[in-house]
Amino acid sequence: MSPAVHSTPTSSSPAVLFDFDGTVGRSLHLWTEAMRIALAHHEIEMSHDEVIEYCFNRPFEQTIERYNIPCSKTFRDMIWKEVAELMHGVELFQGVQEVVSLLRSEGYRTAIVTNSRRSVVSPVLDRHGISSLFDTVIGEEDVRSPKPDPEPVLRALEELRSPPEHSWMIGDSDADIFAGKNAGTTTIGFAPNDNLKYSPLHRLKDADPHHIIDTYQDLPGIIFGRE
């Protein structure tokens, strides 16, 4: 990476938006465990691999309908409860702190845009001491329509006063890419080896992101136009 040139963001500064699960936090496996526990509570026994195949990266409604779960609220609440507890041990992907710090030093605004609840994600950022690296966190409770709808991305850009045509959306799933593209941003698919079991590369490629990376070290060169 090149040495950082310190800049002050302006009211029209570009933004780099990050998904959380599978992009900033190494947490995809926690979601499969939370779903497995919630399904078992409803007497639906599934292995982790079966949860990934039939339930993961799909709206809760599809799982609720497929397995005829009687109370959708109870099911959802149990998943969120388990995720919140499991998140206490989640780690960050290597390079997150260094790269986000570099982006900010170059004058970019930064934000988390996630389909997880802000109340679940923010404590993880606090625990790792990186909350101050993000100007805002847009979570499930902040929007009516989650990704792949562009609403969360547009909400973040509005808060940051950043133009979409000069901003970036980075995420590990096709939902992140569709949301970013429909909001008018440049998109980057994040596909480290750890994620491929949960977010197959072909599905990410089918969303046609502008770039795909598998490590944070590749991000500055793309955003700064050096690749």
Question: CA-to-CA distance for 15 and 160, rounded, in angstroms?
Answer: 7
Q: At what angle do helices 72-86 and 118-127 cross, to 10 degrees?
A: 0
Question: CA-to-CA distance for 117 and 122, rounded, in angstroms?
Answer: 9
Q: Looking at this protein, which amino acid is placed at residue 156?
A: A
- ∠ CA(117), CA(125), CA(6), 5° rounding? 125
Catalytic position from the list 19, 135, 172, 176: 19
218 close to 199: Cβ distance less than 8 angstroms: no
155 close to 141: Cβ distance less than 8 angstroms: no
76 is written with which tokens?
A: 């959802």
Whether 19 sits among the annotated catalytic residues: the reply is: yes
Question: CA-to-CA distance for 123 and 20, rounded, in angstroms?
Answer: 12
Question: CA-to-CA distance for 158 and 6, rounded, in angstroms?
Answer: 24
16 close to 222: Cβ distance less than 8 angstroms: no
Peptide bond between residue 148 and the one before it cis (omega within 30 degrees of 0): yes
208 is written with which tokens?
A: 């046609």
Q: Which residues are catalytic?
A: 19
